[in-house]
Amino acid sequence: MASGRKLFGTDGVRGEAGTFLTAELATALGRAATAALEAERPQVLIVRDTRESGPMLESALAAGVAAAGGDALLGGVLPTPAAAILVRRLGLDLAAVVSASHNPYRDNGIKFFDGNGAKLDDEAEARVEALLETVPAGPVGRVRELNGGLEDYLRELAAAFQLDLTGRRVVLDCANGATHLAAPAIFERLGAEVEAIGVEPDGRNINEGCGSTHIEALRERVASGGAEIGFAFDGDGDRVLAVDAAGRVHDGDELIALAARGLAARNELRGGVVVTVMSNYGFHRAMAEAGIEVAVTKVGDRHVIDELRRRGWSLGGEQSGHIIATEFVATGDGIAAALTTMRELGDASLADAVPMEKLPQTLVNVEVADRDAVAGAAEVWAAVEREAEALEGRGRVLLRPSGTEPLVRVMVEAPSAEEAEAVCDRLVAVVRAELT
């Protein structure tokens, strides 16, 4: 974390609404973020998801924007990527999203996008924090509704993909969240026969037993309804998982591999693909076979986005379903990723598409007294090196401390589930012997 950043985490400021993320903090963030722009009269878009705390935080954030002399434009409930698209399309200075993504309804968050639709970097977030208590009083701005934001977003999607989905039967699980209007609308506009679930938000049911974090609901509906494919979004709509007609779940690795192969075959892939250390070894093997270069970052979509920007590449993402195609928008967009999947499938079914062969994976979280102590645990790293050498060319080992909990995560991928489990068991034993 950059110096000066205490409130901002890997995806904005996030915490329990009303206790950590209060109206006072939201106002201060709106005021500071607007003042940091150093513009004469900044224009700031605010969108939110469906949490019951959303309107309160939206109002407080807008008050802060106006207090710093900016105009707050309230876009209402829209997916996170819509903010990144609209801030650029409308020529605004800043966009703010009130959402806690896949977290329970009690949590909420605030994250910002600059005028180009990119998430604020560490340095920009540090500047916002530095201004929290120091913005002087001055002329105030206005707060007003922004009409037509949803339609603008849908037009951008339709223009970018230009698909004819007539006759395609699709189930969409919108997690009772920010995609509950947009996702069914764009699929229907493109001709698909849509069954939508998770489209009755009540302020508290966002991500509750539905969406990409609870994909069982979608699997059951696809299997029972005769649809050929299903997509599950998270609460703010920046990630997606897919389910084929046979009920098999396809994660971000598989969807990225499908897109990369299709783009590369048409000479439309700019550079290679960026993924995180959590991507399955089978992904790397498939990309090598296709002649596609892969770059690897730490876990977190912001690291993927930073690396895409640094390399000038156009495609990347995470196993969890964050898929970033910078030709459309410089952040994860679950709806765009779903449409990308449909484009790459053409007339084929997802069940028949084999863009990569996943290796069996075993993951164990080992509780330790001090997660940072693993850095100096020589016996642990010696064991990791031995096991990695034995799996070279066939699988891999990943051992890392949790960023937030007293845990060391041990992950092994191998040609068989039995071998993956055996290697993981040996490594877990070493970690426990050395660190517990």
For the chain, the structural domain boundaries read 13-146, 152-352, 361-435
User: How confident is the model over 397-422, as pLDDT tens digits?
Assistant: 999 998 778 899 999 999 999 999 99
- For domain 152-352, the CATH class is alpha beta
With a cut of 60, say whether residue 2 has pLDDT above it.
Answer: no
Convert the pLDDT of each residue in 83-103 to its tens digit.
Answer: 999 999 999 999 999 999 999
Residue-averaged pLDDT of the chain: 95
DSSP-based three-state secondary structure for 434: helix
Distance, in Å, from the CA atom of 271 to the CA atom of 217, rounded to the nearest integer, reads 37
List, by residue number, the catalytic residues: 101
Asked if 237 and 182 count as a contact pair (C-beta separation under 8 A), the reply is yes
Give percent of the chain with pLDDT exceeding 90.
91
pLDDT of residue 287: 97
pTM: 0.92
CATH code of the domain occupying 361-435: 3.30.310.50
Q: φ and ψ at 214, to 5 degrees?
A: -140, 70
pLDDT at position 135: 81
Using CA atoms, how far apart are residues 153 and 164, in angstroms rounded to an integer?
A: 18
Q: Which residue in the block uniquely carries the two structure tokens 């990119």?
A: 118
| Helices 149-161, 334-345: inter-axial angle, 10-degree rounding | 20
Reduced to 3 DSSP states, what percent helix, strand and coil does the chain have, rounded to the nearest 5? 40, 20, 40
The whole-number pLDDT of residue 137 equals 82
Q: Which of these, 418, 12, 49, 35, lies nearest to 211 by C-alpha position?
A: 49
Alpha-carbon torsion angle 81, 158, 170, 251, nearest 10: -40
Fold of 13-146: Alpha-D-Glucose-1,6-Bisphosphate; Chain A, domain 3 (3.40.120)
Res 72 pLDDT > 80: yes
Banded pLDDT at 4 (limits 50, 70, 90) = low
Q: What is the pLDDT of residues 364-380, one digit of tens each?
A: 999 999 989 999 999 99
In tens, the pLDDT along 239-298 reads 999 999 999 999 999 999 999 999 999 999 999 999 999 999 999 999 999 999 999 999
If pLDDT is split at 50, 70 and 90, which confidence band does 1 have? Answer: very low
CB 230, CB 222: distance < 8 Å:
yes
361-435: same fold as 13-146?
no
